[in-house]
C-alpha cells in the first residue's frame, strides 16, 4: 500500500472511531470479538470525585471496588486475553457536567462498560449517550424504577426501589407487635413515593398507616407529637440521614423512645447516620442490601465471594476514618464481575451481545459479591431480588456502631 492509501486508510479508521492511538484497528469490525483489541479494554466510571459533598467519599469507595475487581481480572490474565483498565470522569453531581463526562468516556471506543452515573436525574441525561454507544451500563445507586423500563443496556446492582416498603411491612407483620405506623420525611420525590407506597400497601400486611408528616430543616417535635396523639407504634424515618437524625432528636426530647419504634430504608445504612444521630440511632431498624461485615453474623456464615471481597478490600485499602466501614462498595465490584461473566458468555466485547448475555445471567449467592441469587432476565435487570433484602438494626457495640441482622436474604 502506498503512502497516500495508507494515510487515507488511517484517516478513515480514526473517523470511524475504530483505531488505537497508533492508527491500528482497535476493534475488529462491529463484532469486537476476541483478539479485536490491540490495547486494554476499558471500564469507564462516572461519578462525583471533587467538591465537598459527602458523596465524594462514597464515590472513592466505589472507585476502589471497581479497581479491586479490575485487578482481580488482570491477575487471571485479563478478559478474553486482553488487559482491563479503569478510567474515570467527574460528573460533579451536575446534569450538564454528567453529559460531558459520559461523552468524554464513550468517545474512547475501547471503553466497553460504563458504570454510573448515580442518581436518577443524572442517569436520565446519560442514557441517550449510552444507547447511542451501544455498550452495557451498570448502576449502583439509582432509585427510579420507571427509568429502568425499556433500558436493554442498563443493569442495576440493587433491588427495585419499590421492593423496600413491602420488605419492611412484611417484617413488621411477621416479627413484631407493631400495628400503627406513620412517616416523617421531606416533601420531595422520595418522601412522596414512600407515602404513596405505605398508603397503598400497609393494610395488605394488617397494618394501619397514619399518613405522612412532611418536614423541612426545623424542629420536628410537632410532627412527632401528632403521631403520638394518633397512638402510633412506629415511625418510618426519612432516607436522608440528617433529617432522620432530627426526628430521633425530637423523639428523645419528648421522652417517647419506648413508645415510638423507628424504621427506615437503605439511606440509613451508612455509618454516617449513627455518627450524626448519636445514641438515639440505637434500635433503628432498616431495610438494606448486604451489610454483613458490620453485623453480628459470624464470618463463617458470610457468602463466600462477598467474604473474599471484604477481606481483599480491607487488606488493600484499610478501614474508613470511622474505623469500621470498608473503603470499597461491593456493588461496584459486582458491576465488573457481572460484565466479565457476560463478556465470557458472549465471547465478544460487542455491547449488544454482551448486554444480551447479561440479561440471562444466573449467579449463585456463593459467587455473587452481593451475597444473593442474581437472576437477570430480559425484563428484569436488577441484581437483588425482593427476597435478597435484609433487615438490620443499629446497635452501639462498645466504642463503635454495628448492626444486628434481624432477617437475612433468602435468595
pLDDT given for residue 24 in this prediction:
32
- For residues 64 and 49, is the Cβ–Cβ distance under 8 A? no
pLDDT given for residue 16 in this prediction:
40
**Does 162-288 match 34-159+330-385 at the fold level?**
yes
pLDDT given for residue 26 in this prediction:
43
CATH code of the domain occupying 162-288? 3.40.50.2300
CATH class as words, domain 34-159+330-385: alpha beta
pLDDT given for residue 397 in this prediction:
84
pLDDT given for residue 411 in this prediction:
62
End-to-end CA distance of the chain: 60
Give the domain ranges of the chain: 1-30, 34-159+330-385, 162-288
Rounded distance between C-alpha atoms, residue 283 and residue 191, angstroms: 22
The rounded average pLDDT for each run of 10 residues, N- to C-terminus, in the chain (411 residues) is 40 41 36 65 95 80 97 96 96 90 95 94 93 96 90 95 94 96 94 95 98 91 96 96 95 96 94 92 96 93 96 94 91 98 98 98 97 96 94 91 90 62
Amino acid at each position: 500500500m502506498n503512502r497516500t492509501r495508507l494515510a487515507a486508510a488511517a484517516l478513515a479508521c480514526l473517523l470511524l472511531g475504530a483505531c488505537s492511538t497508533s492508527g491500528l484497528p482497535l476493534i475488529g469490525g462491529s463484532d469486537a470479538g476476541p483478539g479485536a483489541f490491540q490495547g486494554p479494554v476499558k471500564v469507564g466510571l462516572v461519578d462525583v470525585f471533587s467538591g465537598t459533598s459527602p458523596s465524594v467519599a462514597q464515590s472513592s469507595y466505589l472507585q476502589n471496588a471497581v479497581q479491586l475487581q479490575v485487578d482481580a481480572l488482570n491477575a487471571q490474565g485479563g478478559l478474553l486475553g486482553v488487559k482491563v483498565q479503569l478510567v474515570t470522569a467527574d460528573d460533579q453531581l451536575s446534569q450538564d457536567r454528567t453529559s460531558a463526562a459520559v461523552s468524554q468516556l464513550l468517545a474512547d471506543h475501547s471503553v466497553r462498560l460504563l458504570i454510573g452515573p448515580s442518581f436518577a436525574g443524572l442517569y436520565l441525561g446519560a442514557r441517550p449517550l449510552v444507547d447511542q454507544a451501544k455498550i452495557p451500563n451498570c448502576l449502583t445507586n439509582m432509585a427510579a424504577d420507571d427509568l429502568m423500563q425499556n433500558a436493554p443496556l442498563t443493569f442495576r446492582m440493587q433491588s427495585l426501589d419499590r421492593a423496600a416498603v413491602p420488605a419492611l411491612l412484611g417484617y413488621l407483620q411477621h416479627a413484631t407487635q407493631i400495628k400503627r405506623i406513620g412517616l416523617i420525611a421531606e416533601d420531595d420525590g422520595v418522601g412522596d413515593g414512600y407515602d404513596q407506597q405505605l398508603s397503598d400497601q400497609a393494610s395488605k400486611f394488617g397494618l394501619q398507616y397514619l399518613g405522612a408528616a412532611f418536614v423541612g430543616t426545623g424542629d420536628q417535635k410537632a410532627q412527632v407529637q401528632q403521631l403520638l396523639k394518633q397512638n402510633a407504634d412506629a415511625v418510618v424515618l426519612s432516607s436522608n440521614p440528617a433529617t432522620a437524625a432530627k426526628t430521633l432528636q425530637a423523639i428523645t426530647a419528648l421522652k417517647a423512645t419506648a413508645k415510638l419504634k423507628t424504621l427506615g430504608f437503605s439511606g440509613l445504612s451508612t455509618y454516617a447516620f449513627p455518627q450524626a444521630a448519636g445514641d438515639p440511632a440505637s434500635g433503628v431498624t432498616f431495610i438494606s442490601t448486604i451489610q454483613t461485615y458490620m453485623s453480628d453474623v459470624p464470618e463463617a456464615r458470610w457468602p463466600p465471594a462477598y467474604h473474599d471481597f471484604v477481606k481483599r478490600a480491607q487488606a488493600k485499602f484499610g478501614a474508613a476514618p470511622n474505623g469500621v466501614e470498608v473503603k470499597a462498595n461491593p456493588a461496584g465490584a459486582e458491576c465488573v464481575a457481572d460484565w466479565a461473566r457476560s463478556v465470557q458468555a458472549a465471547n465478544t466485547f460487542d455491547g449488544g451481545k454482551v448486554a444480551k448475555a447479561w440479561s440471562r445471567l444466573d449467579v449463585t449467592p456463593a459467587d455473587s459479591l452481593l451475597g444473593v441469587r442474581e437472576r437477570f432476565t430480559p425484563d428484569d435487570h436488577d441484581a437483588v431480588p425482593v427476597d435478597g433484602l435484609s433487615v438490620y438494626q443499629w446497635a452501639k457495640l462498645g466504642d463503635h456502631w454495628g448492626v444486628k441482622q434481624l432477617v437475612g436474604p433468602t435468595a
